[in-house]
Amino acid sequence: MDPETGLARPRDNGTFLKRYEPREVNNNFTEANAWQYSFSPIHDLKRWQDMLGQSGFSLEGQLDALFDAPSQTVGRDQADITGLIGQYAHGNEPSHHIAWLYAATQHPEKGQARVREILETMYSDQPDGYQGNEDCGQMSAWYVMSSWGLYPLVPGEAQYALAAPLWESVHLPQVGADGVTLNRMGHGPCLMGCLPMDQVLRSDTPGLESIDGEAGVADLFEGHQTYLSQEALEAHPEHVFFTHRTIPEIGRNWSTYTNRHPFVDRRDLDLLPAPRIEVARRFEGSTTASVWMTPSAHAPTQRKVTESQSIRVSSEPGHTSTAYTTKKPNDWSVRVLEGKPNPQYNPGEAALIDGVRGDVDWRKGEWFGLQGQDLSVLVSPPVAKRFKRLEIDFSLLHDQRSWITYPKRVEMYLIKANGEEWLAAWSDYDEIEDIPAEIMHWRTDYRHQGHRMRPKIAGIRFVFKNAGPLPDWHLGAGGETFIFIDEISIQE
Ligand SMILES: [Ca+2]
Ligand SMILES: [Ca+2]
C-alpha cells in the first residue's frame, strides 16, 4: 500500500513505480486498475483500516473518493471494465464487494444507497440486461443476495453485511432448521437495523407500529449492527429489517463489520514491509542510492554508485528488495526520427542505448514498442570519426500472441559528416509465424570496403519496416502489429 495515496501501487526496481496513475489500466493489474484493486484486503479489515489511518486516510474517505472519481479509465482499452460509478466497475469481479465495505465504517448508509442505486440501474430484463460479463454467474449472484439485504462481504466468513432488502418478504427455505424469513418494514434504501421477530413482538417501544416514528424505532437498536452472523440468522425463523429514507441521527456509533477472526497468520504480523531503494535505473558518470528500511524511517542511508550493480536489502524479519542500476556503456546519443512509441511501451528513447536489455517478459517495460508504424532511429558518436570496424547488435522481440512481430525489413545506413548516407546492411523477414515468444539478436560486423580512405562517420540510421496487419490465421487477424526493439549496442 502506497502511503502517498492509500492505494495499491505497483513496485518496480526496489521502490514504488514512478509513473503512476491509479486510473490507468495496464499490465500491473488483471482487467482493472489500481483503484479497483485497492479495496481487496478484506480478510483483515481492522488492520487495513489502521494502516490507512497511519497514512492519513480512512476507509470511508477512500470509498467516497472511488465513487466520486471521474468515471473514465485511462491506458489500455479493456472490455471487462464496465458499469462504472466513478472508478467502481460493477461489470467485473474485482469491484463487487466494494459498495458493501461501507458496512465496516461509521456510515453504512452510504453503501446501502450505492447498493440500491446499482440494483436499480445496472440490471434489466433485456437481453443486454447485465452491465458486465456474467462470469460464473457472479453478476446474478450479486443481484440476488444484495436484493435480500444480505451480502457475504468476506469470502470464507460466515457473516453478512446488511442493507435494506428490495423485497417486502423473502423466504429462504434451506437456511436453518425450517427456513428463515426476512421481512422488511418501511420503503427506504437505508437500513436502521435488523431484529429477530420474537424480540420485536416482545418490545413495547412506542412508535414501532409506525415506521415513521424514527426516534422510537432507533431506540430499539442497542447495538446498531451493520452485519449479521450465519448463526444469528439461523437462530430465529423470522427477522425484521427496519428501513427508512435516511438514517436518523441517533448520537450513537454503529457497531460495524469487522472480521470475527481475521484470516491472518500471527507470524506475518511481525514481518516488516520491504525496504525501499531509490536509485536511478540507468545513469552516466555516477549516481546515489538511498535506502529506507521502514516506511516511517526519517532519513535514508545513502551511498555513491559509480558502476553497474544490483543492490539488495532485507528487513529483518521481513522482505527483501532488489534494485538494479546500470551505467551507460557508451558515449553515443540516440534520437527517434520517425515513429511514435505506444505510451505503455515507451521507456524513453535513451533506453535504446542505456546498457539495460529487455528480456522476453516485455511487460517489465524495458522495450521500445510502437504499433502499426515504421521506426527510424539515429545513433550518433559524440564527434564524427573514422572507424576501422563497427560491430552492431540489437534485440528484436517476437510474441505474436501479444501482436508483437519482427519487422518486415531492417535497414542500416551509415551517415557521413556531410550528411551523405548509404545502405550498409539490411535483412528481410518472412511472414508472421505462429511460434512461442522469442528474442532475435540482429548483428552485423561492418568493415569499410574498397580503396578509398575510410570516411568519417557522423551517425548510423536504422529503419524498421512494420510487418503489416496480423494474418488471417491469427485471433486478432487484421490488427496492427507492434515492433519491439531494445538496446542498440555499438562496438568500435
Ligand atoms: Ca469478469
Ligand atoms: Ca535498453
Ligand closest to Cα of 394 equals 2
**pLDDT value for 98:** 98
Q: Which ligand is nearest to the CA of 358?
A: 2
Sign (positive/negative) of CA torsion 158, 164, 166, 168? positive
Q: Assign 3-class secondary structure to the chain.
A: CCCCCCCCCCEECCEECCCCCCCEECCCCCCCCHHHHCCCCHHHHHHHHHHHHHCCCCHHHHHHHHHHCCCCCEECCCCCCCCEECCEECCCHHHCCCHHHHHHCCCHHHHHHHHHHHHHHCECCCCCCECCCCHHHHHHHHHHHHHHCEECCCCCCCEEEECCCCCCEEEECCCCCCCEEEEEECCCCEEEEEEEHHHHHHCCCCCCCCCCCHHHHHHHCCCCECEEEHHHHHHCCEEEEEEECCCCCCCCCCECCCCCCCCCCHHHHHCECCCEEECCCEECCCEEEEEECCCCCCCCEEEEECCCEEEEEECCCECEEEEEEEECCCCCEEEEEECCCCHHHCCCHHHHHCCCCCCCCHHHCCCEEEECCCEEEEEECCCCEECCEEEEEEEEEEEHHHCECCCCEEEEEEEECCCCEEEEEEEECCCCCCCCCEEEEEEEEEECCCCCCCCEEEEEEEEEECCCCCCCCCCCCCCCCEEEEEEEEEEC
According to the model, what pLDDT value does residue 215 have?
45
Q: What residues have a C-beta under 5 A from ligand 1, the ion?
A: 92, 133, 135
SS in 3 state form for 125-180? CCCCCECCCCHHHHHHHHHHHHHHCEECCCCCCCEEEECCCCCCEEEECCCCCCCE
Low-confidence winner among 71-80, 146-155, 365-374 (lowest mean pLDDT): 71-80
Which ligand gives the minimal distance to the CA of 367? 2
What's CA 315's distance to the chain center, in Å? 26
Q: Which ligand lies nearest the alpha carbon of 139?
A: 1
Q: Confidence band (pLDDT; 50, 70, 90) for 220?
A: low
At residue 363, does pLDDT exceed 90? Answer: no
Report the alpha-carbon distance of residue 329 to residue 357 in Å, rounded.
12
Residues 6+ positions from 377 with CB-CB distance below 8 Å: 334, 335, 336, 337, 349, 352, 461, 462, 464, 485, 488
What number of other Cβ atoms are within 10 A of residue 283's Cβ?
A: 18
What pLDDT is recorded for position 248? 65
Q: Where are the domains of the chain?
A: 269-327, 333-491
Tell me which ligand sits closest to the C-alpha of residue 364.
2
Query: Which amino acid is residue 209, in one-letter code?
Result: E
Query: Quick one: average pLDDT of 189-206?
Result: 79
Give me ligand 2 centre to Cα 327, in Å.
Answer: 11
Ligand 1 centroid – CA 78 distance (Å): 11
Which pLDDT tens digit goes with each residue over 391-424? Answer: 999 999 999 999 999 999 999 999 999 999 999 9
Relative to the alpha carbon of 78, which ligand is closest? 1
Instruction: Compute the distance from residue 339 Cα to the ligand 2 centre, in Å.
Output: 17
- Can you give the pLDDT at residue 110? 94
Q: What is the pLDDT of residue 309?
A: 96
pTM over 0.75: yes
What's the average model confidence in pLDDT over 95-107?
Answer: 96
Ligand 2 centroid to Cα of residue 485, in Å, is: 9
CA of 28 from ligand 1 middle (Å) equals: 17
Compute, in angstroms, the gap from residue 50 CA to the centroid of ligand 1.
Answer: 30
For residue 251, name the pLDDT band (cuts at 50, 70, 90). Answer: low
Distance of CA 368 from the midpoint of ligand 2 (Å): 8
Class level of CATH domain 333-491 = mainly beta
User: What is the predicted pLDDT for the residue at 213?
Assistant: 44
Q: Does residue 302 carry a pLDDT above 90?
A: yes
d(CA 69, ligand 1 centre) in Å: 22
Ligand nearest the Cα atom of residue 329: 2
CA–centroid distance, residue 143 to ligand 1 (Å) = 15
Q: Is the pLDDT of residue 492 over 90?
A: no
Give the cell for residue 44.
Answer: 483483515
Cα–Cα distance between 135 and 119 in angstroms, integer? 18
Nearest-angstrom CA–CA distance, 269 and 491? 52
Share of the chain above pLDDT 90, in %: 72
Arithmetic mean of pLDDT over the chain: 90
- Ligand 2: centre distance to CA 443 (Å): 16
Going from the Cα of 395 to the center of ligand 2, the distance in angstroms, rounded, reads 10
67 alpha carbon, distance to own chain's centre: 17
Q: Is the peptide bond before 382 cis (omega within 30 degrees of 0)?
A: no
CA distance 234 to 470: 58
pLDDT > 70? residue 211: no
Distance of CA 31 from the midpoint of ligand 1 (Å): 8
The answer on pLDDT for 166 being more than 70 is yes
* Separation of CA 388 and ligand 1 centre (Å): 59
Separation of CA 123 and ligand 1 centre (Å) = 16
Average pLDDT estimate for 154-166: 94
Alpha-carbon torsion, ordered 297, 303, 308, 309, to 10 deg: -50
Which residues, in sequence order, are CB contacts of 254 under 8 Å at separation 6+? Answer: 106, 108, 224, 225, 226
Dist. CA 160 → ligand 1 center (Å): 23
Q: Which pLDDT band, with edges at 50, 70 and 90, does 337 fall under?
A: very high
pLDDT tens for residues 57-68?
Answer: 999 999 999 999
What is the rounded CA–CA span in Å between residue 386 and residue 152? 74
Question: pLDDT tens digits, residue range 268-278?
Answer: 777 888 999 99
pLDDT, residue 207, reads: 47
Position 367 pLDDT exceeds 70: yes
